[in-house]
Amino acid sequence: MISNLNFFSGKKVLITGVTRGLGEALVLTLCESGAEIIGVSKNIQGLQDLEKKIRANYSQSKINFYACDLENSDSIHQVFDQIIARSGVPDLVFLNAGIKYSEPGFDYVLMRKTFEINFFAPILIASKLISHCNTSTSLRIIFVSSMGAYHPMVATHGYNASKAALTHMVESLSFDVKKMGIPISLQLIFPGLIATDMIKKNVGGFSWDRFRAASFILRKVQKTKQPIIFPYFLKIILRVINCLPYRLRYRIFCKLKAS
């Protein structure tokens, strides 16, 4: 856990995908920060269980949870209208929710579902929040991408492609946001392998515990608005591999599978 969370005190922090993995770890790590936590997930039972856990262990926490199907644009509009009406525009947003299917073949339906949640949902949420901003509104949106955005891997073409699209969209959009005259900041996070339900085994000893990852992210968010990439040694390894000739790079990535 982080010893100093004063940066988040009094801030409204919205996080998507809070019922498991990194999203849940971010929520639980922030519970003693004094932040107002707004959590979003499709899993209604998971939200109820998480709220009970927080009420039992962090009774002073300010939390509001919303059930939202991020694959459904109508659900996103409805829920985020409720959030904005109740709490206003958040100060800090972690667009963390994501899915990854192991896809040995080409499955268009799974590919489309992956893009709906990993790419289109964050775009719609960001667009909706930005549309409610003005010159006196400070909004920082943090998009959770992946190191997989910059390399292929066996049976993850939908996931890696969706994260690549998200990354380039955010990087391009940040140029336009600067011209709007509104204090909006867009930031990317590139995790390596985090030990969650999405990554069920430690690939080569490279995966991080989700609470370690959450603490690292929250420390970095306090210090920088630049892209956050971790673990550093995996970043270096991937950069070296990406400098290799295509055939050799292809053979290396063919042997890797995050599952």
Q: Over the stretch 96-132, which tens digit does the pLDDT of each residue have?
A: 999 988 766 788 899 999 999 999 999 999 999 999 9
- Asked if the structure places residue 235 within a domain, the reply is yes
Q: How far apart are CA 140 and CA 143, in angstroms?
A: 10
Arithmetic mean of pLDDT, 209-238: 92
Which CATH number fits the domain that encloses residue 238?
3.40.50.720
69 SS3 class: coil
193, HSE (Cβ side, Cα atoms, 13 Å): 18
Question: What is the residue range of 51's domain?
Answer: 6-255
Please list the residues that pair with 186 across neighbouring strands. Answer: 141
Instruction: Note every long-range contact of 107-116, with CB atoms under 8 Å and residues 24 or more positions apart, other chains counting.
Output: 107/158, 110/158, 111/157, 111/158, 111/161, 113/71, 114/158, 114/159, 114/162, 115/158, 115/161, 115/162, 115/165, 116/70, 116/71
What confidence category does residue 181 fall into, taking pLDDT thresholds of 50, 70 and 90?
A: confident
- Asked if the structure places residue 247 within a domain, the reply is yes
- Asked if the structure places residue 35 within a domain, the reply is yes
- Asked if the structure places residue 68 within a domain, the reply is yes
Predicted pLDDT of residue 252: 84
- Asked if the structure places residue 1 within a domain, the reply is no
Those residues with Cβ within 8 angstroms of residue 203's Cβ, 6 or more apart along the chain or in another chain: 193, 256, 257, 258
- Asked if the structure places residue 207 within a domain, the reply is yes
Please list the residues that pair with 160 across neighbouring strands. Answer: none
Q: Which of 50-64, 102-116, 146-160, 181-195 has the highest mean pLDDT?
A: 50-64
Predicted pLDDT of residue 201: 53
How many structural domains are present in the chain?
1
- Asked if the structure places residue 147 within a domain, the reply is yes
Predicted pLDDT of residue 39: 99
pTM of the predicted model as reported, rounded to 2 decimal places: 0.91
- Asked if the structure places residue 132 within a domain, the reply is yes
What confidence category does residue 202 fall into, taking pLDDT thresholds of 50, 70 and 90?
A: very low
